[in-house]
Chain A
């Protein structure tokens, strides 16, 4: 791992990110944490799943993010009749060259907005699998690299809504984080009426960063230091999901990876050159919750996977010292055992 000691590019990073953020926040009002999470996922080379009821600005968020960055953007409206080839592309016979010619699909862009992704059939949803994880598309034995940066921002309605196909676990696992926008506050909604009443703010949105800026930023994020206790903490959190009685399926090792990458990005966003357990904690719900399958009993009890993750966070001690270093004796379990809770 390259050590990150280039302070200048860290300030660059924060400045660039700040620009993108204010640009996006000009469109999505009153939701700074959602915007921040989106940027975190972007810098951590992840994909974002925005899940919420219709009309709260999912697509708006995706578009604003895409527009603020000067890069290629494609938007796919997922519908029940969408075919996998519409996403990945097709090879068609070129009469003149007497050869198959590859027509790239919608996925060949730097930011792909997949709108209402759970309206497409599972077959089509699965077409995204390889591209999202390996950043490449293989058609007829031919592998095509996807551009960099590459980010899928998908929106979906909650699975309970009509006409939806729930995403398969493998698909969900490929999204780094799931975020829900939520209804705006009264003030934010009032302001939105003022701003959006005349024209769409998206129209006025100008790119504030270039794609290769983002690539550099991503490089910088890779260099963020993650100390052993933080890594251990992330692993402990994730493994706690695997043994939790309320969960049928825990989080995968990929989830651990995503959690740490996101934590690094969050640290970089805060202008820090090292990740903290705080970063892990702040991202744990967004990164882990959508991968977990609650048991039927937990569902009956209306326990959401978010609640489970929260509970795990409250239960897992934060490691305070590297296991094998000279800090031994200062506590096997961090800062001290919590007093027994009575209630």
Chain B
């Protein structure tokens, strides 16, 4: 196989491997086969064109044309002239397809169905990237920059999948790229002649081992890959290393350490998409008689920062066999234990386990951990609900209104924690709350009045398309406009309740789904919901339902005496109905603030950077990271500048100082020449080195004289009995440098400035130190080894 053929194949392989990162984005993966096939043809065309050989731009043009024809045949055969040649119709059709694809992308959650539009985008994208890689790496023979299109492809995939892109895909992409580099290196090496591996080898036999440089290259590649995978784990606050196992689930051990990182499930929902079809998320089978109260809670958000609610960072532990009694629940309260078997859809990847509250026992396989305060079960090490089936025993707590009304004050700590409000909360929230709850005798009545205010008396309208805005005034705006959806209702009620010193938090999860009969229930995307939970000592966390037309108001919020006739029709038990009218509005949510946990749509319904902990910490980490990114490439430049300054600094007085200075200046001169491409040669004397610099650098006579003067000075210092080096050598070096620079091209000048070749001395220096250390270790070792018989030594 010729070098170019190998490189072309590697380029195609690298593109395909990188394209694998797109696999999780769409559901049937068939497009990849198609893309591979078309890419193979495109690569073949390129290879043929280079074999001819055509001019490079022509080769690219031919390949692009081939790609266009292929796409036409595959996607727009009917619109094309003679089925092959893309006419105006075909282009128009492409435009339509792409537009449709764009719409699909924005409409469907991940993984999206493979519509024609999306398929065209994927296949066409892979072909374009493949063409770019092939052009850069093979046609223009420069494999390293070909990483950029590959990186672009991978970034798109990783970005779209919201960090869901697996480490596996990164490894695949990296392996592809390394293969490409390796092929290029091999190709370049072979241009020098046959590649020797050192040892004798039978003719025709496979090389017994890799050629030494190749082997080194492979090792470097493997190490770099390893570092890329491992280092992010060690970096603090940079969420989402590729192998991020511990990041979101807490301590990797099986013990009881670790914390739940504060990840706001709402954040990842912010960009969730409206869905046309109500996809099934969960299907449950329960022995509960009251399906309308079968709310499935994912997590509770207990921290309110003025703009949004977030879960706190909590410690997690192994899932207990039987959960403890929920906090605050006293024995006198009526309860029944129900058992629910839940099966999550294959595409639904949630880190928290949707469960009825309060759970008392969970049977599930996988890496799950238990967060005792919130009574949630959290996936550890990327464990998600994808395709899981699990059984939950939970309590259906049925307090009476009286019990709630007579509930004593909550414990001090709990009271403090769950009534905390930011100072930035507009005053109108608290004042409205006080106004609404005027006359209420206790927390329970206050809460009921709040709920009624939202559902009945306040005149609020459920609308998923409102724009209340985000930020501190979101709740105030919502109270003014009286339009919003579950997130707004629950957030507003929770904030108002807190302003009244009622311990409150917001639960995220699913409203009861659609009963299918026989205790079976289907929960769809549109059942995603948020609701407030209020704490009553003796009862525990109690669900309220302020969102009109969604979910069901709990029985205990309807005091026997209260006017229960009105709300009932407004609160049908089933939420997200399957009817067309409801689906039009219900599903379209999630635009802002913290859109409904309509969530689920993003399979990785997870974690975008933990917004918890001190704010400055991630900011600092990012700043430092950014600084490092900026600084690392300029290390050679900085090192060089500093070295030059040191070497050309003052001459000194004593003869030995002068000698040192002269040698340093000489070193600087040779390094300067090196930076401009004249590599130093140890076997050359100063005089010859000077002549060589003058010759190769094509210096003008004054600069040439300067070089020779410096060389003379070095000779004097090194070899003469009484050295008398002239002064002003540093100036000579500067003159030589400017002359070299004036003769070099712009690229060479830039390189000499930004990536000076002589900076490799740093590496050598380090290598030397390392060797020294190793020698010392080796020297120290004999004391440990078992003394062997002297005769056995060689």
Q: Are B679 and A338 in contact (CB under 8 A)?
A: yes
Chain A: minimal CB distance from B733 (Å): 14
A276 to B721, Cβ gap below 8 A? Answer: no
Q: Which residues of B contact A334 (CB under 8 A)?
A: 682
Q: Does any Cβ of B come within 8 Å of A83's Cβ?
A: no
- A195 CB within 8 Å of chain B: no
B444 within 8 A of A: no
A274 on the B face (CB < 8 A):
yes
In the complex, B137 has a CB within 8 A of chain A: no
Inter-chain contact B192/A343, CB cutoff 8 Å: yes
Pairwise interchain contact B683-A337, C-beta atoms closer than 8 A? no
- Which single member of B660, B687, B689, B719 contacts A330 (CB below 8 Å)? B660
With an 8 A cutoff between CB atoms, is B720 at the interface? yes
Q: Answer yes or no: A170 CB below 8 A from chain B CBs.
A: no
Considering the complex, which residues of chain A in the window 314-343 have a beta carbon less than 8 Å from any beta carbon of chain B?
314-318, 320-321, 325-327, 330-339, 342-343
Partner of A315, one of B683, B758, B764: B683
CB of A335 within 8 A of CB of B680, answer yes
CA distance A227 to B685 in the complex (A): 14
Please state if A336 and B715 are interface contacts (CB–CB under 8 Å).
no
Closest Cβ of chain B: how far from A233's Cβ, in Å?
A: 9
How many Å from the CB of B646 to the closest CB on chain A? 12
User: Please, how many angstroms separate the alpha-carbon atoms of A276 and B685 in the complex?
Assistant: 8
Residues of B within 8 A of A325 (CB): 656
**Judging by beta carbons under 8 Å apart, are B682 and A336 in contact?**
yes
- Nearest A residue to B664 via CB reads A330
Q: Which of A230, A274, A278, A342 contacts B688 (CB 8 A)?
A: A278
B718 on the A face (CB < 8 A): yes
Are B720 and A274 touching (Cβ within 8 A)? yes
Q: Is the Cβ of A338 less than 8 Å from the Cβ of B682?
A: yes
The distance from the CB of B536 to the nearest CB of chain A, in whole angstroms, is 77
Residue in B659, B684, B719 whose beta carbon sits within 8 Å of that of A274 in the complex: B719
| B719 and A317 within 8 A (CB) | no
| A332 and B719 alpha carbons, distance in the complex (Å) | 17
Asked whether, in the complex, the Cβ of A317 is within 8 Å of the Cβ of B683, the reply is yes
The residue among A275, A316, A320, A337 with the most chain B CB atoms within 10 A of its own CB is: A320
Is residue A225 within 8 Å, beta carbon to beta carbon, of the partner chain?
Answer: yes
Can you list, as one digit per residue, whether each of B667-701 has a CB less than 8 Å from chain A (1) or not (0)?
10011001000011111111111000000000000
Alpha-carbon distance A277/B715, docked complex (angstroms): 9
A84 close to B (CB within 8 Å): no
List B contacts of A281 (CB < 8 A). 685, 688
Contact B719 A335 (CB under 8 A): no
CA of A317 to CA of B574 in the docked complex: distance in angstroms? 88
A313 within 8 A of B: yes
Nearest-neighbor residue (CB-CB) of A4 within chain B: B721
Evaluate whether A335 and B666 lie within 8 angstroms (CB atoms) in the complex, with A281-B685, A316-B683 already known.
yes
CA distance A314 to B660 in the complex (A): 26
Q: How far is the CA of A6 from the CA of B259 in the complex (A)?
A: 87
Q: B663 an interface residue at 8 Å Cβ cutoff?
A: yes
Given the interface pairs A281-B685, A318-B685, A321-B663, the reply to whether A335 lies near B670 with Cβ below 8 Å is yes
Closest to A330 in B: B663
**B window 625-679: CB within 8 A of A:** 656, 659-660, 663-664, 666-667, 670-671, 674, 679
Contacts of B686 in A (CB 8 A): 318, 320, 335
CA–CA, A4 to B721, complex, Å?
9
Among residues of A, the one whose C-beta sits closest to the C-beta of B657 is A326
A327-B721 contact, Cβ under 8 Å, with A332-B768, A335-B666, A336-B761: no
A258 to B768, CA, bound (A): 36
B720 contacts A335, C-beta separation under 8 Å:
no
Chain B: residues with Cβ within 8 Å of the partner, total of 33
Residues of A within 8 A of B764 (CB): 337
Q: Which chain A residues border B674 with CB–CB below 8 Å?
A: 336
* Cβ contacts under 8 Å, B660 to chain A: 326-327, 330
Are A336 and B670 also in contact (CB < 8 A) when A274-B720, A276-B715 are? yes
Size band of the interface chain A makes with B: 35 or more
- How far, in angstroms, from A227 to B659 measured CA to CA in the complex? 14
Measured in the bound complex, the distance between the Cα atoms of B683 and A226 in whole Å is: 19
Task: State whether B681 touches A338 (Cβ < 8 A).
Answer: yes
| Interchain CB contact under 8 A, B656 and A275 | no
Q: Mark A1-21, 1 if CB is under 8 A from B, else 0.
A: 001100000000000000000
With A and B bound together, what is the CA distance between A274 and B714 in angstroms? 13
Which residues of chain B come closer than 8 Å to A278, judged between CB atoms? 685, 687-688
B679 engages A335 (CB within 8 Å)? no
Q: Is A273 an interface residue (CB 8 A)?
A: yes
Report the minimal beta-carbon distance from B485 to chain A, rounded to whole angstroms. Answer: 67
CB-CB under 8 A from B683, the residues of chain A are 313-318, 338
* CB under 8 Å from chain A, chain B span 762-777: 764, 768
Q: A227-B720, A332-B768 are in contact. Are A327 and B680 (CB under 8 A)?
A: no
Closest to B670 in A: A335
CB–CB A229/B682 < 8 A: no
- The smallest beta-carbon distance between A304 and chain B, in angstroms, is 20
Bound form: Cα–Cα A339–B684 in Å: 13
A276 in contact with B663 (CB, 8 Å): no
Known: A317-B683, A337-B682. A273 touches B663 (CB 8 A): no
A residues in contact with B681, CB < 8 Å: 335, 338
Q: Please indicate the chain B residues that have their CB under 8 angstroms from the CB of A327 in the complex.
A: 659-660, 663
Question: Whole-angstrom distance between the alpha carbons of A277 and B667 in the complex?
Answer: 18
Residues of A within 8 A of B656 (CB): 325-326
- A273 and B671 contacting across the interface, CB-CB below 8 Å: no
Give chain A nearest CB distance to B215 CB in angstroms. Answer: 16
Which residues of A sit under 8 angstroms from B687, Cβ to Cβ? Answer: 276, 278
Which of B656, B683, B684, B719 is most buried by chain A, counting CB atoms within 10 A of its CB? B719
Distance between Cα atoms of A168 and B301 in the complex (Å): 100
Against A, the Cβ 8 Å flags (1 = close, 0 = not) of B189-213 are 0001100000000000000000000
A114-B189 Cα distance, complex, nearest whole Å: 54
**Least CB separation from A223: chain B residue:** B721
**CB nearest neighbor in A for B719:** A227
The distance from the CB of A47 to the nearest CB of chain B, in whole angstroms, is: 27
User: Are the CB atoms of A321 and B718 closer together than 8 Å?
Assistant: yes
Q: Bound complex: CA of A273 vs CA of B720, how far in Å?
A: 7
Q: Is the CB of A230 within 8 A of B667?
A: no
User: Chain B residues with Cβ under 8 A from A330's Cβ?
Assistant: 660, 663-664, 667
Question: Which residue of A is nearest B666, CB measured?
Answer: A335
Hey, which chain A residues are within 8 Å of B666, CB to CB?
335
A-B contact pairs, 12 of them (CB 8 A): A229-B719, A274-B720, A276-B685, A277-B719, A278-B688, A317-B683, A318-B682, A318-B686, A330-B663, A336-B670, A338-B681, A339-B679
Given A229-B719, A333-B682, 10 additional A-B pairs, CB 8 A: A225-B719, A225-B720, A277-B685, A320-B714, A321-B718, A336-B682, A337-B764, A338-B679, A338-B680, A338-B682
Interchain residue pairs A-B with the least CB separation, the first 5: A317-B682, A336-B680, A225-B721, A227-B719, A277-B685
